[in-house]
Amino acid sequence: MIKYPTGQGNNRSSNKSKPVFGRRGMSLEKMINLSNKYYLNLEIAVVHKKPTPIQIVKVDYPNRSHAKITEAYFRQPSTTDYNGVYQGYYLDFEAKETTRINYLPLDNFHQHQVQHMANCIKQRGICFVIVSFLKLNRFFFLPAATVVKYWDQQKYNGRKSIPLKIFEEKGFEFQPNSIPLIPYIKYVNFVIKNKR
């Protein structure tokens, strides 16, 4: 069990089967990591998954070569999943998967993640989310400003989710059919062009 600084636990079992994307059988995170490696190898961008610092509390040692962490705590709240640089622009983004068909629940985010995205936007960073609607096999880039807007509105009896319709209107849909699998630099180029 891993516990967040707020005291909330995460009891997700590591034995759960991973989501399948078409015939690839890859998780969204793995596809992004492969895309990051592609961008790095071609010297297009330098983007990495951020490690989350944890404090290990209990370790089970059935034998020396098979130590197993049985309890750990996050040392501090994590921000977003990925960050890096592209042509002098700071990139920061989060990856989310949902089994919902018509919306992405806002409880997929944490307050500190949304605040981090809002802070990055204020500093003119390029901040977005990459979302996979698993049952629909649909993938979107969505500007983080839209996530921040819906997050803030829920405090005033607004929706507790972002509708698929908003992804279609405000986001960029793509299919991971080529290399890189997750072509987020296309979205970033669009943002850069519109910043000028």
Which of 68-72, 98-102, 158-162 is the least confident region?
68-72
pLDDT of 19 reads 40
Per the DSSP assignment, residues forming a β-bridge with 192 are none
Please state the domain extents for the chain. 23-51+77-195
Average pLDDT over residues 157-171: 95
Q: Of how many residues is the chain composed?
A: 196
Q: Assess whether pLDDT exceeds 80 at residue 157.
A: yes
Q: Assess whether pLDDT exceeds 60 at residue 115.
A: yes
Amino acid (1-letter code) at residue 30: K
Spatial separation of the C-alpha atoms in residues 30 and 36, rounded to whole Å: 10
Topology, domain 23-51+77-195: Trna Endonuclease; Chain: A, domain 1 (3.40.1350)
| 14 vs 157: which has the higher pLDDT | 157
pLDDT of 65 reads 73
Q: Assess whether pLDDT exceeds 90 at residue 121.
A: yes
Q: Assess whether pLDDT exceeds 60 at residue 178.
A: yes
pLDDT of 87 reads 96
Q: Assess whether pLDDT exceeds 60 at residue 49.
A: yes
pLDDT-derived band at 194, boundaries 50, 70, 90 = confident
pLDDT-derived band at 6, boundaries 50, 70, 90 = very low
Spatial separation of the C-alpha atoms in residues 99 and 103, rounded to whole Å: 9
What tokens does 158 get? Answer: 């607004």
pLDDT tens-digit readout, 73-96? 655 566 888 999 999 999 999 999
Instruction: Map tokens 């944890």 to a residue.
Output: 54
The full 3-state SS of 24-90, as one line of letters, equals CCCCHHHHHHHHHHHHHHCCCCEEEECCCCEEEEEEECCCCCCCEEEEEEECCCCCCCEEEEECCEE
